[in-house]
Amino acid sequence: MGDGVSEVPGSGALSGGGATEVAEGGEKVSEGNRGAREGGSVGAVLRCSLKSALAAMLLLSIGCTDAPASDAGVPVDDLGPELAGAVALIPTSPEVAAVCASEVTSTACTTRDAAALVARCRARLSARGIPCATTADCLGTYRPSRPVACRAGATYPDRASCAEAVEDDCAFYRACLDAAHPCGDEGYALAFGERLCNAFIARREEFSPAGQAWLRGVRTCLQRSLVPLVGASALSCEALVDAAYASHAGCYTAPGNSVCALPPADLGALTRVLAPWLRDPRALRQIGEVLRSCSDAGAR
């Protein structure tokens, strides 16, 4: 993995693709290709089909409740006898996430810890009559990149711990944001934030090392921007959506980790992952903001 990060590979990852062909003759150049020639990066491709992908990214899927297909990950038995650091469990569907809420918001530091979490989750699913013939049918594994020593147990053991978002993790949406402002399975935290966070982890192998590093940074940035909302009082579900939405563009174009620097192939991967979430016309306004940011960065 890029940036010295060790991750457990996901299974069934799609191959690259998504890059736009360039006409060799130069007589006809699409809008996306023209930008690619001019900027060599995301600014151009956004004007083509990938504009829709960034719209979904900026919204964190506001307005859609269907989850995309995700890679199952590696069964816990394949992790080896000892782990070098934290392991998180990634649910393969929103249903698994809901039933195994305590397990998917916990961190394991050893194979035994991880196996115990998996066993608990599978028992819960079995009791509900939800098929999980193999671990990979319901859970994937992920080795998050964290600068601190692994701490086994609930990633956010209490409300006070929500004052700082844990790096490279998805538990914040359920354990902190939805716990503070319960809006249910169709609310921002669970239907949008958590699902996309898990989807980007589960399908990370579709991205280059640079793309994976960008996704890690965006995940953490978005959650850190939401920390103040956890302590806010009398926040309606609609107000929560608006407040969360306002932070997206800044995280996607953050200095040192901007979507403007991603190669076209990674934007193709974003298109495949994010396509199911294109529903809200407010994406257009956010796309304009990102385009301006990328344009300004390219002009400097």
pLDDT at 152: 92
pLDDT at 71: 32
97 vs 105: CA distance, rounded Å: 9
pLDDT at 279: 66
pLDDT at 215: 92
pLDDT single digits (tens) 149-159: 899 999 999 99
pLDDT at 78: 55
pLDDT at 83: 58
pLDDT at 131: 86
pLDDT at 38: 37
pLDDT at 81: 56
Whole-model pTM: value is: 0.73
Which stretches in the chain have pLDDT values below 50? 1-74
What HEC string does the chain produce? CHHHCCCCCCCCCCCCCCCCCCCCCCCCCCHHHHHHHHHCCHHHHCCCCHHHHHHHHHHCCCCCCCCCCCCCCCCHHHHCCCCCCCEEEEECCHHHHHHCHHHHCEEECCHHHHHHHHHHHHHHHHHCCCCCCCHHHHEEEECCCCCCCCCCEECCCCHHHHHCCCCCCCHHHHHHHHHHCCCCCCCHHHHHHHHHHHHHHHCHHHCCHHHHHHHHHHHHHHHHHHHHHHCCCCCCHHHHHHHHHCCHHHHHEECCEEHHHCCHHHHHHHHHHHHHHCCCCHHHHHHHHHHHHHHHHHHC
pLDDT at 46: 42
